[in-house]
Structure 1
Amino acid sequence: MTKTIENAFLSYGNADAPVKVEVFLNLACPYCATFFEAADQTLTPFIEDGQVQYVIKHYDKPREMLLYGTLVNLFLNYNDPQRIYEIMKDLFAKQSEWSESDSDSIKKMLTEEYGLKEEPDTIDLSLKITAEAIKRQVKMVPTVFINEKEFQYPVEIDAFELKEEIEKLLG
């Protein structure tokens, strides 16, 4: 019996996969950008083989350096997880360009470059993820859970260890 992931709004792969990888991240966090890229390269084959369900939880943590990530999150339409993944991938790659900007410039970029608009429903999803982060005592981003086992990136897990951990669970 595989566990159902709470708040799996941005879920990639088979919900019945034996390995569940959850990450709490924020688009304005440099460590999250590095983790996202590593996870993209490492997890893709496992996701395609139906062995891993990868769930991204954008944590709108109230911290000054993360506020622009929260602003971006409010423009994401969670009804299209695949498009959000591609936008996140692009925004993480260009993070240094926009994260040093100002809120008006960021809103303009999201509207003009990505055709996004503010999504009122995202506020409710954000609050659910924040409540879960508090309940699970997530103190920093990125925090990664692999089948409930918690890792702090980059201290406790990197791309190689992520792959190793998944392969160990798959036997």
Structure 2
Amino acid sequence: MTEIKNSYLVIGDVNAPVKIEVFLNYACPYCATFFDLVDNTLPKYFAEKKVALVVKHYDKPREMLLPGTLINANLDYSNPERTLEIISELFKDQAKWDKYSSFEIKKYIEEKYNLKEEFSNIDRSLLITAEAIERNVKMVPTVFINELEFQYPREIFAEELVEVIEKELEKVEA
């Protein structure tokens, strides 16, 4: 298995045998659907230390994704647990804030979460963008489960996600 780069936000044990990496954008509705799938499908795997999810916000240059880029600029990656809670809330409330102006988004994230722009996020964003280019990530969400790739519009659903995880776990146990 290749080394996991840019593992700033990890749910589960980083040493778990199955690594799921997701390139996403907080303003993408398909990413919100995927994150909901994670919340509803993977907690038992996290608790059993069988799966680690590595979340990589991709500041993909598309107009509809710019609100996600503004959100990303303000997240405090030095506090990953809180940041993951915020991301989960943001995805659930996405329809509320994704049409806000840039000013309104900055105000929203500051007032609701007490966050301000984190300049270290510029470097983090550039590293993740470079990795996305290196790995030929064209769309969000793009999901890698160990070496298997699922790139939107090829979506992965709950049953298939569990099936792929179980197959990967069987490989480790064999």
Distance 2:2 2:81 in 1: 22
Q: In the alignment, which residue of structure 1 is the partner of 2:45?
A: 46
Please tell me whether residue 67 in structure 1 is matched to residue 99 in structure 2. no
Amino acid at match of 1:155: R
Contact 2:144 2:150 in 1 (8 A): yes
Matches within 5 A, 1:14-93: 14-93=13-92
Question: Match of 2:56, SS?
Answer: strand
Structure 2 regions of 5+ residues with no counterpart? none
Number of matched residues? 170
Question: Match of 1:74, SS?
Answer: helix
Distance 2:42 2:152 in 1: 15
Query: TM-score by structure 2 length?
Result: 0.94
Please state how far the C-alpha of 1:154 moved relative to its aligned partner: 5.5
Question: Match of 2:55, SS?
Answer: strand
Structure 1 regions of 5+ residues with no counterpart? none
Contact 1:28 1:67 in 2 (8 A): yes
Please tell me whether residue 11 in structure 1 is matched to residue 10 in structure 2. yes
Question: Match of 1:7, SS?
Answer: coil
Distance 2:70 2:7 in 1: 20
Query: TM-score by structure 1 length?
Result: 0.96
Please state how far the C-alpha of 1:108 moved relative to its aligned partner: 0.6
Compared CA separation, residues 113 and 156, structure 1 to 2 (3 A)? closer
Q: In the alignment, which residue of structure 1 is the partner of 2:164?
A: 165
Superposition CA RMSD, Å: 1.2
Question: Match of 1:35, SS?
Answer: helix
Compared CA separation, residues 117 and 160, structure 1 to 2 (3 A)? same
Deviations 1:45-91 (A, max 9, x none): 11111101110000000110001100000000111111111101111
How high is the sequence identity, in percent, across the aligned residues? Answer: 58
Matches within 5 A, 1:151-162: 151-153=150-152, 155-162=154-161
Amino acid at match of 1:135: E
Q: In the alignment, which residue of structure 2 is the partner of 1:147?
A: 146
Please state how far the C-alpha of 1:15 moved relative to its aligned partner: 1.6
Compared CA separation, residues 90 and 156, structure 1 to 2 (3 A)? closer
Please state how far the C-alpha of 1:37 moved relative to its aligned partner: 0.5
Please state how far the C-alpha of 1:149 moved relative to its aligned partner: 1.0
Q: In the alignment, which residue of structure 2 is the partner of 1:129?
A: 128
Please state how far the C-alpha of 1:39 moved relative to its aligned partner: 1.1
Contact 2:67 2:98 in 1 (8 A): yes
